Structure 1
């Protein structure tokens, strides 16, 4: 299938399960598998090199803070340049940064590669979803994004547990090397996908173009972005501190959280997209916020493995329901010509949440303990319900 066959005029006649969409799912499995191999063991690696618990949280959070700064420019790159080339180069840099972790002799070097990783990953995150929508029928965007998330689900199911087990058996550095290889292979595989190149034609006039703020941030969908950020905040807390919390409370086998969560996500992700396409955002978002509140409370008060498992199920019906619906809403509000902008704006909230979570969470966990850490997360999600109700009421007036 050529790039010309995938233009906007033919999208309604396109099948969802086309070869390019399926290939992209496989590539996403590799990149997210590598991501989740690294995430749950990075804080422990930093502590082994002499970092305090608070500093380990800062190092993990630097990824998303960097992504917050660089990410919005990813929307410009996506909409005004070639999506395929942006993805190939950005993914390759991801691999180099991940390899850098394994070679880091001290905290300063880890910080450097963490910043590089955050910058490149933020651009590829914005570009990948926008690029994927070119292989999805226009009237099935919500469903397609839901299925796209399954590639991340598969990685979530096995990545953290493999990363933790690999670090215990072979060492953290070697685990980072394996993750880097997976990312570089993913970058190579992207070369076989068609180059749709649906970018605006360049203006032949030699007029200077000043980048405006509205080209970097889509303010009309910013409230949706920050609601999404609440879910990512909880995600950042879990991936950064669940292993450490399990060690402190003598709860063995906490890695099963990721497997259980992923298995249930396989069900919730596609269902979420279908409900959104037929019923709208509110039918998905309110239940998702309530489920995420329950997840945070169960984690905060967990003293046995069954509570960790139940929290994982609640998370699948929380973030698993909300994320594809919120992303689809952002794409539909911005239109096909600004999907890069929509994607990068959505990830502003994601980066704020996933960055601020570990950044502040390390301090809260050190001073108040893990119970208060997750109680505060539940309170933030409760505020999210009130915020969305106010937002929706203003939109309906």
Structure 2
């Protein structure tokens, strides 16, 4: 077996499984607000709640994903969680009211959390040890591609074929995610794994403390980002440019994907700080432009700028979280990062929906720009400054020795 090989067949399978998993998520997330407000007659707040209830379930169950994998085996958890995600995806075709939608969203969110954490852990375990940063960057690229294509497909299909067609495509993607995920095998799956579980579940078995500082920055970014995915279709309708909403995500996605190889090399060569602060500034500028967008050109330009900033931040934050933890707790570090990311996304969807309903979507996006700018303060206080203090302490210890 070549331990230096990154693009093994199993790694490709789990990357594609993750792509279809997130494709289904982003397709639904982008089109669901329109479904609630037009098809079910709900308000902007109710549309935000449909996303928030999904995230609540994800936040509740994601901490247990690592424990489930240790107790029952990584492969078994991947298969079961992807199967349940598929069943929940099919259930949207039978929705007959808002209450039923919320119930499905809750179960869907729980299965999504466990499925994404378990497939993520499988990918990390497959990646050769000395190529973790590169491998994680490529793996997250598949999620970014789903982020690009999913919203475009969701908005395009609902405009042309309606919500039933959109739900059917999401179910097909969930099926593909299940087949590919069940087919992939990670090297960490062993017969001895269940016997390694402690008799009592402890707090440390659910969270990785070392990943929390960078995860707090991820929380703030996700809070602001939730306004893009959840309310873009409603915002563009308000601005009378609804037919171009899907192209916003095309521009957004292109600027996520194109600079990714450069971002990965910069992260290895010059460190994360050189990437994070400019990316936060670019993200905030893009949101300011979006808040004032009343034409197609401004909408697409803002999407490109936002994509450049957000596309550099997310893989950088995830890599910092994973590398902060010991090798045997990297899956848990990933889960910890996404717990706070999910929490920011869910809280943001609800609060921003409330603000937009009371004021306007333009004002909401301007406030998102301020929130993104504030994330630089959070990053400095909880990661950058802390890292400087640790480095200073290590230098003093070295000199005294």
If the length of structure 1 is used for normalisation, what is the TM-score?
0.91
Cα deviation 1:210-264 (Å, max 9, x = unaligned): 2111211222221211211222223321111111010111124121011112122
Give the match for residue 111 of structure 2.
120
Superposed displacement of residue 195, structure 1? 4.4
How is 1:181-260 mapped onto 2 (pairs within 5 angstroms)? 181-198=172-189, 201=192, 209-251=199-241, 252-260=243-251
Cα deviation 1:341-381 (Å, max 9, x = unaligned): 11110002211121011111111001121122112212222
Give the match for residue 343 of structure 1.
334
Q: Distance in 1 between matches of 2:349 and 2:125?
A: 34
Cα distance 1:195–1:204, how it changes in 2: closer, same or farther (>3 A)?
closer
Question: Does the aligned pair in 2 maintain the 1:140–1:277 contact within 8 Å?
Answer: no
Superposed displacement of residue 328, structure 1? 1.4
2:318 pairs with 1:327: yes
Superposed displacement of residue 191, structure 1? 2.9
Q: Select 2:130's aligned residue among 115, 125, 139.
A: 139
Give the match for residue 399 of structure 2.
none
Superposed displacement of residue 199, structure 1? 5.8
Q: Select 1:303's aligned residue among 289, 294, 298.
A: 294
Give the match for residue 150 of structure 1.
141
Cα distance 1:41–1:208, how it changes in 2: closer, same or farther (>3 A)?
closer
What number of residue pairs does the alignment pair up?
A: 386
Give the match for residue 370 of structure 2.
379
Superposed displacement of residue 197, structure 1? 3.6
Cα distance 1:121–1:367, how it changes in 2: closer, same or farther (>3 A)?
same
Q: Select 2:256's aligned residue among 265, 269, 272.
A: 265
Runs of 4 or more off by more than 6 Å in structure 1? none
Question: Does the aligned pair in 1 maintain the 2:206–2:332 contact within 8 Å?
Answer: yes
Q: Distance in 1 between matches of 2:273 and 2:198?
A: 43
Q: Distance in 2 between matches of 1:239 and 1:76?
A: 31
Give the match for residue 395 of structure 2.
none
Cα distance 1:83–1:248, how it changes in 2: closer, same or farther (>3 A)?
same
Q: Distance in 2 between matches of 1:192 and 1:371?
A: 45
Give the match for residue 394 of structure 1.
386
Give the match for residue 26 of structure 1.
16
Give the match for residue 304 of structure 2.
313
Q: Distance in 2 between matches of 1:121 and 1:155?
A: 15
Question: Structure 1 residues 73-82 or 283-292, which shifts more?
Answer: 73-82
Q: Distance in 2 between matches of 1:395 and 1:78?
A: 31
Q: Distance in 1 between matches of 2:6 and 2:284?
A: 33
2:387 pairs with 1:364: no
Give the match for residue 102 of structure 2.
111
Cα distance 1:114–1:294, how it changes in 2: closer, same or farther (>3 A)?
same
Cα deviation 1:289-321 (Å, max 9, x = unaligned): 111111221111111122221222222222211
Give the match for residue 353 of structure 1.
344
Q: Distance in 2 between matches of 1:203 and 1:171?
A: 46
Q: Select 1:84's aligned residue among 50, 65, 75.
A: 75
Question: Does the aligned pair in 1 maintain the 2:125–2:186 contact within 8 Å?
Answer: no
Question: Does the aligned pair in 2 maintain the 1:97–1:113 contact within 8 Å?
Answer: yes
Give the unaligned 5+ runs of structure 2: 390-401
Superposed displacement of residue 17, structure 1? 2.2
If the length of structure 2 is used for normalisation, what is the TM-score?
0.90
Q: Distance in 2 between matches of 1:317 and 1:51?
A: 33
SS at match of 2:149: helix
Q: Distance in 1 between matches of 2:276 and 2:191?
A: 34
2:60 pairs with 1:60: no
